[in-house]
Each structure stands twice: as C-alpha cells, then as structure tokens.
Amino acid sequence: MVVSYRKRTCFRQIPDMFRQLDDYLGNASRPSLSQIILWHGCEESDEDMDIEAARLLTEKMPSRPPFAVQQLQGIPLMATLIHYCRTTSRCTASTELALWIERNGYRMIENEPRREICIPHEQTGDPEAYVAEVQIAVERA
C-alpha cells in the first residue's frame, strides 16, 4: 500500500513533490526512507511530465485529494536496472533498460508506468543522491 501525489510537472520538481507528500503524511504514518516514482507515459518534454511520487505506508489511511492511497498493481514480469542517480538530474537508466528489453526479445507493456524505487545514497553527503532501481513491465515479444 502506498500514498501518492500525481501531477504534470518538470522532473526537477520531484523533491518538492515528496516534501508535499511528507507534509501531508505528518505523524499519521511514518514514511519509509525509500521514494517511489511512477513515470506515466513517455513525454517528449522535460518540463511537462506525468509524474507520481509515492511512499510505502505502514498502515491504511484515507485518501484525500490530491493524495491517493492505493495498492500498486502486481506485475508478473519486470525488467529492472539498479543505478546511481539524482532526482533533480536527467537520467539515462530507463533508456538503457528499454534498449536491453528490445534487444533481448521482450516488449514493454503499454499503459503501465515505469517504476523507480530510490533509496538515499548515504556515502555521498548529497541529499538528492540515490541508489535506484528502475522497473519496466514487460512481456515476451
């Protein structure tokens, strides 16, 4: 179960989206350190992306717009790539994983958001540095 906040914005606004999400959570539920980003669609522009920021919940709570409590859909087969990234910088991990998918006899499942799970990279001292796993739903081509 996650609580999420979705909007069309620039990827550089992701840290602010998590601040708003954490402010909403307050003391209601202790959020996990990891951040989940759901990338809906494949936009051409970095300035107008459909992004959903989410945190795992330890207990159920009511949804209150613009925040939604939901269960992420189970995916039978995912291609994944672990990488280092900053949430405020453009990252090539999804593109690299998409190339691997294409070259290895798979195809991406339409209308399924890419998932990126980000865990703070404590050794850098940079609050925006993460070890991340990008996940793309796939099926055999």
CATH code for position 95: 3.20.80.10
How far apart CA 141 and CA 77 sit, in angstroms, is 13
Q: How many domains is the chain built from?
A: 1
How far apart CA 28 and CA 41 sit, in angstroms, is 31
For 48, the token pair is: 């107008």
pLDDT digits (tens, 9 = 90+) for 6-61: 999 998 899 999 999 999 988 666 667 789 999 998 766 778 899 999 999 888 88
How far apart CA 80 and CA 61 sit, in angstroms, is 30
Beta bridge partners of 130: 85, 120
Count of alpha carbons within 13 Å of 1, Cβ hemisphere only?
A: 11
In this structure, are strands 129-140 and 35-40 parallel, antiparallel, or unpaired?
unpaired
Task: With H, G, I as helix, E, B as strand and everything else as coil, classify residue 22.
Answer: helix
The span from the first CA to the last CA of the chain, in angstroms, equals 31
Instruction: Using alpha carbons, select from 112, 32, 42, 101 the residue that is nearest to residue 72.
Output: 112
pTM of the model: 0.89
Q: Phi/psi of residue 41, each to 5°?
A: 75, -175
Beta bridge partners of 68: 4
What radius of gyration, in Å, describes the C-alpha atoms of the chain?
Answer: 15
Its domain, for residue 9, covers: 2-140
pLDDT value of residue 29: 61
Instruction: Pick the range with the lowest mean pLDDT from 5-9, 90-94, 112-116, 124-128.
Output: 124-128
pLDDT value of residue 30: 61
How far apart CA 15 and CA 33 sit, in angstroms, is 13
